[in-house]
Structure 1
Amino acid sequence: MIIRPAFLALAVALGLAAGPAVAQQAGAPRTADFAGQWAARPGAAAGVEMRVRGNRVEARELFTTPGQDRCGTQGRGQARGASAQMQFQGRCANGRTTPATQCTVTLETRDRVRTQCRNGHQAVLFRVGR
C-alpha cells in the first residue's frame, strides 16, 4: 500500500510538471506559421507574402501600384521551428537586382515576426491574412 500512494504521487508530480510544457508546445510557433500575409502594422494592407513547403520558406513583397522602376524584395531560406535563415535580394521590374543579404526571421508569436539582417535592416511584421 505504501508503494501505491508513492506511485500515485509520482504520477501526479510528473503530470503537473509535464502539463504546462505540453501546453506551451501546442501553442508555440512552428515553421508552418510563417505562411500568410504580413504588414508593418496590425490591420494594415499586406506588404509581404510568405509561403512554406516543408522547411523551405519563401517571401516576397506585394505591390498595389504598377511601375516600370518598382523594386521589391524576395527571400528564400530554411526554417527550423520558429526561426528561419533567409537570403533576401531586391528585384526590379526593369531586371536590375540589389545586393543579397542574410537575415534571421523569427516568429515571436504566430501573428508577429521579427527580421534582423546582416546589412542592419530590422523589421517587425504582423499577420493580416492566412
Structure 2
Amino acid sequence: MYGLGWISSLYSYCPNISGSQKIIVIEKSLPLPNMYIYRIAGVSGALAVSLCAYGSHGLGSNYDAKDKKIFKTGTRFHMLHTLAILGCPCSRRPLLSTGFFIVGILLFSGACYVKALSKNDLVGKIIPVGGTILIFAWLSLLI
C-alpha cells in the first residue's frame, strides 16, 4: 500500500479544506476474472512481438515471399486482436469476448504461422474459420 502522506501536502494548496476533515479514498479493484484477462493479453502480446521478430529476422531464404507475407499477416492480426483483448474487461461479457478473441487468434494467426512455416495448404482451410470467430469476437463487444 502506498503512503498517503502526499494528501496532507495538498491541504496547503486547498484553503477550503481544514486539517480536521477526513478524505475517503475508495480503491476499486477489478474482479478476479478480469485480472486474468490482462495477464492473457500480456502473454499474447509478448508472443506476438516474439513471432513478429522471428518473422522479420529469423525466416531464412528457405521461405519465399508468399510464405513471409502469410506469416506477417498472422503477426499483424495477432497483435491487433491482442490489443483488443485489453478492452474486453470493459465489455458487458468480458469472458465471452476474451474467449472469442483467444480462439480467433489461435485459429487465424496460428494457422497462418503453421501454413507459412510448414507450407501445408490443408492448414489454410482453418484460416477463414479463425477470421469468422474474430468477427464474432468484435460483435460480442456489442452485447
Q: Same fold (TM over 0.5)?
A: no
Higher strand proportion: 1
Q: Between Structure 1 and Structure 2, whose CA radius of gyration is higher?
A: 2
